[in-house]
Each structure stands twice: as C-alpha cells, then as structure tokens.
Structure 1
Amino acid sequence: MTGTESRNIVVRPAEPGDWPAVAELRWQWIVQNGAAPQALEREDFVRHFVTWASENASSHHCMVLVRDTEVIGMAWLAIVQRVPTPHALERASGDLQCVYVVPQARDDGLGSRLIKATLSEARHLGLERVTVHSSTRAIPAYTRTGFENTPRLLQARVAGPTP
C-alpha cells in the first residue's frame, strides 16, 4: 500500500448505514474459514444482522475501517457490566470480538490500527479491561497493541462440541 492509499483510510465508530457492509464482512469471514452457511441465505443473514446491530448498539460498539467509502474492516467491543464493589459502584469490562480486515488489506498494519482505535474507545468508556479470544495468526497483532497472557483469565466451554 502506498502512502496515498493509507491517507484515504480511517477508523471510526460504525454508523447505522454501515450495518449492511459490516454484515457482509461477517458473512465473508465465515465463508473464508470454510464454514459456508447452509441454513440461511446471505440476504436473510444481512437483514438479521442489521436488526441485531441496531438492537444491541448499547452493549456492542462497532469500529469500522473505511477506505474512501468502502468498509474494509470491523472490530466489535462487547461491554459487560460488572458487579459493584465498595470501591467502584459502576464497573464494566469489554470483550474484543470479530476483528476482521479484508484479505487484500492485511499485513499493512490496518488490523493494529483497528485494534488500537477500539482500545481507545474502551478507555473512553472507562472499561477496566478488554479481553480477546484470538486466532493463532492474530496473536502478534494483539500483543503489539497491548494484550498479554494472564494466568488468571480462564474459560469454560458451555455450548457446542466438547474438545
């Protein structure tokens, strides 16, 4: 990518008009990973996704990567309210989800830009921490942007196939 092309790229909060393009990115991601949807047509998924994004805008903040007018990447920050303590009556944390950049725009630092912008949004919202469940390929991008392993964060699968 040349410097001129990179100047036409911005990271910003998604707007309602972006939802169909974001839904298309989500569909594309699933198909690229070999899990072609069989129970749902693309148009039905996009329609459902647009409704879901609108209904969940208070708990799921989406950042988009835009080249000129085309949405080429997304990242979602799911916000979880935490139990109050005597030290902090209002607490929340975040989970970084669905970070995706179209294949032709990868490996130029755009994913890191998207992650950094999402973490900036998390700071602005006053979140205590942000977690992420990463693919092996993306781990370096997350560590470059401040994520680290911790022995205290554990997970348990409660749905789907067991390992």
Structure 2
Amino acid sequence: MADIIVRPAQDDDLPAIADLRWRWVRENGETPAVTREEFAQSLAAWARENRTTHRCVVGVRETTVLGMAWLAVLPRVPTPSVSRRLCGDVQCVYVVPDERDGGLGGRLVDSVLRLAAELRLERVTVHSSPRAIRAYERRGFASSPRLLQVYSAE
C-alpha cells in the first residue's frame, strides 16, 4: 500500500478515471448508452468544464490509476453573518477490485475530507453503498434526521 500515492487528479489521468467509472457502472449491471471511447471523451470534457466545482483525487501505483474519489463543492445561500458558504458531497469513490480492502478507499476519502477542510466547507455528505457505510462512519460521517432526500422521477 505504501507504493500507492494519493494525489489530485491531472488532465492526463482523465482517460483512466473514465475507465474506472465505466468499470463501476458495468460492475453494477448497468448497460452503458454510449461506447467506452465516447464516454471517455464526454467525461474528460465534463471534468474540465466542472473543475472548480468537482475535484477528483486518485490513487496511483507507478502510472496506473487504481482508485478515485470526487468532492463536489456546492455554494449555499448566504446569511447576514456569513456571505460565503460552501458544502460538499463525496461522490464516485471507486477502487479496482484487486486493490479493495487494503485501505485505498479510506485514503481517498481522507484526501477529499482534507480538501473539504482546506476549503472550509460547512458540511460534507455522502450517498454510500451498504458495503462502505462503516468506512464512512470511521471517518466521522453520521446519519442525520435533518438530512432528507426525495428521488426524482425518471
């Protein structure tokens, strides 16, 4: 694990990041609506357009990207006493199957939480898979009776 570096993603990482996202979707039994190449181009364009609101960190061994985590940074309505308010959402944490259960996912989440602290985000949320709930709880995430959600109709 010491040979894996967690760092901010770079433009050169975007094809590998797209591949991780593709793999994740396929692992969950979804059928992509576009080709792998089309998705890679689309994700790269999206990441460049949204680089101020969506930050990605990656876990890399030598030149191979083994995992990713995203932090979405969202502005909140100002109050009379606080003009700049931000919150965050951890998104798309994924580690390739051969590297799971070795701590890389936790290191990725720790990295985005450090970034959230640097950005002085009021709170950070995550929508977790059942398998990862305990890992998030170990990092301070807790259920809140005040955080509600509604699913939009598709």
TM bucket normalised to smaller = over 0.9
Letter in 2 for 1:33: N
2:86 counterpart of 1:89: no
C-alpha RMSD over aligned residues:
0.8
Please give the alpha-carbon distance, in whole angstroms, between the structure 2 residues aligned to 1:95 and 1:31: 23
Which stretches in structure 1 are left out of the alignment for 5+ residues?
A: 1-5
Residue 20 of structure 1 is matched in structure 2 by 15
- Provide the residue aligned with 1:66 in structure 2: 60
| Deviant stretches of 4+, over 2 Å | none
User: CA shift at 1:159, angstroms?
Assistant: 3.3
TM-score, L = length of structure 1: 0.92
- In structure 2, what is the Cα distance between the partners aligned to 1:134 and 1:46? 24
Look up the equivalent residue of 1:24 and give its one-letter code: D
Runs of 5+ in structure 2 lacking a partner?
Answer: none
Q: 2:6 maps to which residue?
A: 11
| Matched ranges for 1:11-160 at <5 A | 11-37=6-32, 39-160=33-154
Q: In the TM superposition, what is the alpha-carbon distance from 1:67 to its structure 2 partner?
A: 1.4
Deviation readout 1:54-96 (Å, 9 max, x if unpaired):
1100110001111121111011111110000122110000010
Deviation at 1:36, TM superposition (A): 2.3
**Aligned positions, number:** 154
TM-score (norm: length of structure 2): 0.97
Report % sequence identity: 55
> Letter of the aligned partner of 1:147 in structure 2?
F
- Deviation, structure 1 residue 108: 0.9
